[in-house]
A and B are shown apart, each in its own frame.
Chain A
Amino acid sequence: MTVESNEYIGMIHSYEIEAGNFTKAGEAASSIKRLLRQLGVDANVIRRVSIAAYEAEMNMVIHSIGGNIQIEISPKAIVFKAVDEGPGIEDVNLAMEEGFSTAKEWARELGFGAGMGLPNIKRCSDEFHIQSEVGQGTYLEAKFIL
């Protein structure tokens, strides 16, 4: 945990996400939720951040080759970042459409891969940004105003 005096930096927590590990999938989102509760963040914000974090974590476990989730908490906002190392999204606009998914059957058997993840993260957040390049990876940022 890093606590800085600068209120715009605040507290930063980072979690490594393993590709394909479904036993661990959701642990980072779970930790984030507990952390926000301890900090006394508004219940509605906690809920929105938790849903977004869990969707992003599941996306990373299902689709990526692994990556990192980071949460920055300042008095004014919570910024959630999900960065993976690939394979990247071919058509980001298409991926943002509800119902579009490239998930395989095993992801669907877990109750995921319905093409609702990214639109749901966008819906939950106040600001949403995604950037992706095939062969490079995906960068997702969701901001929640406090």
Chain B
Amino acid sequence: MKISTIKDLLEAELIVGEEFLDHEVVSACGSDLMSDVLTFVKEQTVLLTGLNNPQVIRTAEMLDVSCIVFVRGKKPTQDIINMALERDIVLLSTDNTLFEACGKLYEGGLRGDMR
């Protein structure tokens, strides 16, 4: 699924990473627990989370996660945005809850990556 499709399905606001909207992700993970994300997430994944701190970007960086969706209308601070910019990570913000956002992407054909 293209990142631009994720943005549309979630009616999300693009915070940073317009040049990467064409990139594909093959799976999704919704979690506030970075420990779990670090254990289970595979490549080319979109991470949906309600957690809003630098560790989210760090976790994404280590796993080559190319897109992060902040749920419940959360907006990252400028230092978090700068970190994402440096690492070519797309940041989206949606008003959907984590449950709703995951449901919409699942309905759109995206699947989890716990194998």
Question: Would you call B82 an interface residue if the criterion is a C-beta within 8 Å of the partner chain's C-beta atoms?
Answer: no
Stretch among B4-12, B57-65, B99-107 lining the A interface: B57-65
Interface residues of B in 64-96 (CB under 8 A from A): 64
Chain A interface secondary structure, helix, strand, loop or mixed? Answer: helix
Interface residues of A in 91-146 (CB under 8 A from B): 110-117, 119-120, 123
Question: Would you call A47 an interface residue if the criterion is a C-beta within 8 Å of the partner chain's C-beta atoms?
Answer: yes
Interface residues of B in 6-22 (CB under 8 A from A): none
Chain A residues within an 8 Å CB radius of B43: 47
Chain B residues within an 8 Å CB radius of A120: 35, 38-39
Question: Would you call A54 an interface residue if the criterion is a C-beta within 8 Å of the partner chain's C-beta atoms?
Answer: yes
Q: Shortest Cβ distance from A47 into chain B, in angstroms? A: 7
Question: Would you call A78 an interface residue if the criterion is a C-beta within 8 Å of the partner chain's C-beta atoms?
Answer: no
Chain B residues within an 8 Å CB radius of A50: 61-63
A45-83 interface code vs B (CB 8 A; 1 in, 0 out): 001001101110010000000000000000000000000
Chain A residues within an 8 Å CB radius of B63: 47, 50-51
Question: Would you call A8 an interface residue if the criterion is a C-beta within 8 Å of the partner chain's C-beta atoms?
Answer: no
Question: Would you call B34 an interface residue if the criterion is a C-beta within 8 Å of the partner chain's C-beta atoms?
Answer: yes
The distance in angstroms between the C-alpha atoms of A104 and B38, with both chains bound, is 19
The distance in angstroms between the C-alpha atoms of A33 and B62, with both chains bound, is 8
Question: Would you call B28 an interface residue if the criterion is a C-beta within 8 Å of the partner chain's C-beta atoms?
Answer: no
Given A111-B35, A113-B35, A22-B54 contact (CB < 8 Å): yes
Q: Does the CB pair B61–A55 fall under 8 Å?
A: no
Q: Does the CB pair B33–A30 fall under 8 Å?
A: no
Q: Does the CB pair A33–B36 fall under 8 Å?
A: no
The one of A22, A23, A55 that contacts B38, using a Cβ cutoff of 8 Å:
A55
Question: Would you call A29 an interface residue if the criterion is a C-beta within 8 Å of the partner chain's C-beta atoms?
Answer: yes
Question: Would you call A25 an interface residue if the criterion is a C-beta within 8 Å of the partner chain's C-beta atoms?
Answer: yes
The one of B35, B51, B53, B58 that contacts A117, using a Cβ cutoff of 8 Å:
B35
**B interface residues, Cβ below 8 angstroms from A:** 32-39, 43, 49, 51, 53-56, 58-59, 61-64
List 20 contacting pairs A-B, 8 Å CB cutoff, sorted by A.
A22-B54, A25-B54, A33-B62, A47-B43, A50-B62, A51-B38, A54-B58, A55-B38, A111-B32, A111-B33, A111-B37, A112-B34, A112-B35, A114-B36, A116-B35, A116-B36, A116-B39, A120-B38, A120-B39, A123-B39
